[in-house]
């Protein structure tokens, strides 16, 4: 029996590379509060991601919450979708805003832009869509609706590191795009996140809100938490950035093999290859239609597990069906999201996943057929 295959595996530089990167911190003793590694990473990410403005955070979640705060969104309704990591919905609710849930597209799992307008009321202040699994939302339609109704657009871009749409960095769309640099993401700083935007006044605001709202030693202008990225995370980010293109290229090979093996199997549906999008292959979701495939998602999950292969019911449950929300929101109001959450599995995907392991995973899945 070969070793267990995890659903993901954090990429890491060599220990020597990391030690070289953090060595200077033993001279400076400057460990956090926008130190030199922080500023170097920020500049390098702006260039890599093709964005004009970028602020770093302790994690992706704080990037979302504090972007809402910096945009002055403290009350009203925010249109979003429940087919996401719980962070997206939490960020809205914890900010004192009311989430209004829109259903998703059957094919790419992102918000169904044709259903947004019907949800707009005189209390709507923003749209917070998610680029699910790195699939890009209908950016043009969403922006057009937002412009017509004077709404802000904040993208949860946690899954899209390194992606472009029409040769522009994903982070250049909307008012703000929020990234997660968590250890399980395509690119990481152990824990970390960023907000990208084009509106320069947000710079100062985000930097201050993220540091208790402190403007200077005697002036505190906002009620902010502590959400600063420290130097050791920034150093990890500098190292990982050197290798991320190679990692994405290796993920593309894994993805290609999965597609060869699984794309024409009845009852299996794979994520689309979107036009004009440079993909990062962050996840490999598979939707199982039990009637056609002959086994349901949970049976495949168990079969993989029995064979030492990790998979994730991602996203299940949808956020509106979670214990903390199920009495307040109606999961049935987004039937497509609810249905897909019961049929989808993300299967192992990381740069160093061997093609022979990909074949082993596919064999187990196809055996359920
Ligand atoms: C990972 C993730 C987040 C939260 O990011 P953290 O860095 O873990 O705080 C938010 N939204 C989505 C869609 C994510 O996948």
In terms of residue numbers, what domain contains 140?
Answer: 15-238
**What is the Cα–Cα distance from 19 to 348, expressed in whole angstroms?**
30
Give dist(CA 56, CA 121) in Å, integer.
33
Residues 183 and 167 in one domain: yes
Number of domains in the chain: 2
130 lines ligand 1 (CB under 6 A): yes
Query: 80 in ligand 1 pocket by Cβ < 6 Å?
Result: no
Tell me, yes or no, whether 119 and 201 share the same domain.
Answer: yes
Tell me, yes or no, whether 285 and 321 share the same domain: yes
Q: Please return the burial class of 141, using the count of CB atoms within 10 Å of its CB with bins 0-12, 13-18 and 19+.
A: middle
Distance 331 CA to ligand 1 centre (A): 21
Of 7, 8, 57, 61, the residue with max ligand 1 atoms within 8 A of its CB, to mutate for a pocket test, comes to 61
User: Does ligand 1 lie within 6 Å of residue 160's CB atom?
Assistant: no
How far is Cα 64 from Cα 70, in angstroms, rounded to an integer? 10
From first to last of the 369 residues of the chain, give the pLDDT tens digit.
458 999 999 999 999 999 999 999 999 999 999 999 999 999 999 999 999 999 999 999 999 999 999 999 999 999 999 999 999 999 999 999 999 999 999 999 999 999 999 999 999 999 999 999 999 999 999 999 999 999 999 999 999 999 999 999 999 999 999 999 999 999 999 999 999 999 888 988 999 999 999 999 999 999 999 999 999 999 999 999 999 999 999 999 999 999 999 999 999 999 999 999 999 999 999 999 999 999 999 999 999 999 999 999 999 999 999 999 999 999 999 999 999 999 999 999 999 999 999 999 999 999 998
In this structure, is residue 57 part of a structural domain? yes
84 lines ligand 1 (CB under 6 A): yes
Q: Answer yes or no: is the C-beta of 182 below 6 A from any ligand 1 atom.
A: yes
For residues 112 and 140, is the Cβ–Cβ distance under 8 A? no
Nearest to 361 by CA among 2, 108, 12: 2
**Do 362 and 266 reside in the same domain of the chain?**
yes
What are the CA-CA distances from residue 244 to residues 13, 238, 308 (Å)? 10, 10, 28
Q: 3-class DSSP state for residue 60?
A: helix
User: Is 9 inside any structural domain?
Assistant: no
Residue 340 has which token pair?
Answer: 């897909």
- The whole-number pLDDT of residue 203 equals 86
Task: Indicate whether residue 283 lines ligand 1 (CB < 6 A).
Answer: no
Whether the link from the prior residue into 315 is cis, omega within 30° of 0, is yes
**3-state SS, residue 250:** helix
Last residue of a domain, one of 220, 238, 256: 238
Nearest to residue 154, comparing CAs of 67, 95, 77? 67
CA-closest candidate to residue 95, choices 63, 121, 120, 130: 63
Domain membership of residue 2 (yes or no) is: no
- DSSP codes of every residue in 275-291: TTEE-----EEEEE-HH
4, part of any domain: no
Q: Would you give the distance in Å from CA 85 to the centre of its chain? A: 8
Judge if the beta carbon of residue 248 lies within 6 A of ligand 1.
Answer: no
Q: Which residues contact 184 (CB under 8 A, 6 or more apart)?
A: 8, 10
223 lies in the same domain as 141: yes
CB 278 within 8 Å of CB 61: no
The pLDDT of residue 1:
47
Q: Are residues 284 and 211 in the same domain?
A: no
CATH code of the domain containing 145: 3.40.640.10
Same structural domain, 169 and 293: no
Per DSSP, what are the bridge partners of residue 55? 195
Q: What is the pLDDT of residue 369?
A: 87
| 5 within some domain | no
Whether residue 58 has its Cβ less than 6 Å from ligand 1: no
Note whether 55 and 194 are within 8 A (CB): yes
Select from 238, 254, 284 the last residue of a domain. Answer: 238
Q: How far is the CA of 367 from the centre of ligand 1 (A)?
A: 33
* Strand pairing category for 284-288 and 344-347: antiparallel
Q: 240 in ligand 1 pocket by Cβ < 6 Å? A: no
Cα three-residue angle 42-17-11, rounded to 5 degrees: 75
Assigned domain for 8 exists: no
CB 252 within 8 A of CB 355: no
CA of residue 228 to ligand 1 center, whole Å = 16
Q: Is the CB of 38 under 6 A from ligand 1?
A: no
Same domain, 218 and 260: no
- The atom of ligand 1 lying closest to the CA of 59 is 7
**221 and 95 both lie in a single domain:** yes
Residue 90 lies in a domain: yes
Indicate if ligand 1 lies below 6 Å from the C-beta of 193.
yes
Beta bridge partners of 287: 269, 344
For residue 249, count other CB atoms closer than 10 A to its CB: 11
Nearest residue by C-alpha to atom 2 in ligand 1: 158
Query: In the structure encoding, which two tokens stand for residue 164, read together?
Result: 């472009």
Report the CATH number at residue 296. Answer: 3.90.1150.10
In a domain? residue 64: yes
Residue that finishes a domain, picked among 238, 270, 297: 238
Q: How far apart are CA 318 and CA 83, in angstroms?
A: 5
Pocket test for ligand 1, best of 111, 158, 187 (most atoms within 8 A of CB): 158
Could you tell me the sign of the dihedral formed by the alpha carbons of 287, 289, 293, 295, in that order? positive
**Token pair 């918000």 is at which residue?**
111
Q: Decide: 158 in ligand 1 pocket, CB within 6 A.
A: yes
- Tell whether 323 and 189 lie within a shared domain: no
Distance 240 CA to ligand 1 centre (A): 18
Q: Are residues 262 and 181 in the same domain?
A: no
Tell whether 234 and 360 lie within a shared domain: no
Write out the two tokens for 245: 């293109």
Through-space distance between the first and last CA atoms of the chain, rounded to whole angstroms: 23
Ligand 1 pocket, mutate which of 180, 184, 225, 319 (most atoms under 8 A from CB):
180
């Amino acid at each position: 029996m070969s070793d267990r295959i995890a659903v993901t595996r954090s990429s890491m530089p060599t220990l020597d590379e990391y030690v070289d990167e953090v060595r200077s911190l033993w001279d400076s003793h400057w460990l956090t509060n926008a130190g030199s590694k922080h500023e170097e990473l920020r500049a390098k990410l702006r260039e890599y991601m093709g964005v004009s403005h970028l602020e770093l955070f302790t994690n992706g979640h704080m990037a979302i919450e504090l972007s809402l705060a910096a945009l002055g969104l403290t009350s009203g309704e925010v249109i979003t979708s429940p087919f996401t990591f719980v962070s997206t919905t939490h960020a809205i609710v914890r900010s004192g805003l009311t989430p209004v849930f829109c259903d998703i597209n059957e094919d790419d799992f992102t918000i169904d832009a044709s259903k947004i307008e019907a949800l707009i009321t005189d209390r709507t202040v923003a749209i917070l869509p998610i680029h699910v699994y790195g699939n890009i939302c209908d950016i043009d339609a969403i922006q057009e609706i937002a412009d017509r109704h004077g709404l802000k657009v904040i993208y949860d871009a946690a899954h899209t590191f390194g992606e472009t749409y029409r040769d522009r960095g994903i982070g250049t769309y909307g008012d703000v795009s929020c990234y997660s640099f968590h250890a399980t993401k395509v690119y990481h700083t152990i824990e970390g996140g960023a907000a990208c935007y084009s509106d320069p006044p947000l710079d100062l605001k985000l930097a201050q809100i993220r540091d208790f709202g402190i403007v200077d030693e005697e002036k505190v202008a906002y009620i902010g938490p502590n959400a600063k990225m420290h130097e050791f995370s920034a150093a990890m980010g500098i190292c990982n950035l050197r290798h991320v293109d190679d990692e994405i290229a290796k993920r593309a090979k894994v993805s290609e093999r999965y597609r060869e093996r699984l794309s024409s199997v009845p009852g299996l549906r794979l994520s689309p290859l979107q036009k004009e999008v440079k993909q990062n292959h962050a996840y490999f979701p598979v939707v199982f239609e039990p009637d056609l495939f002959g086994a349901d998602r949970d049976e495949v999950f168990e079969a993989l597990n029995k064979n030492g292969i990790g998979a994730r019911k991602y996203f299940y449950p949808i956020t509106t069906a979670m214990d903390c929300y199920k009495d307040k929101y109606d999961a049935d109001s987004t039937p497509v999201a609810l249905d897909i959450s019961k049929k989808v599995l993300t299967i192992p995907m990381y740069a160093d996943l061997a093609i022979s392991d990909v074949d082993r995973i596919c064999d187990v899945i196809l055996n359920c057929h």
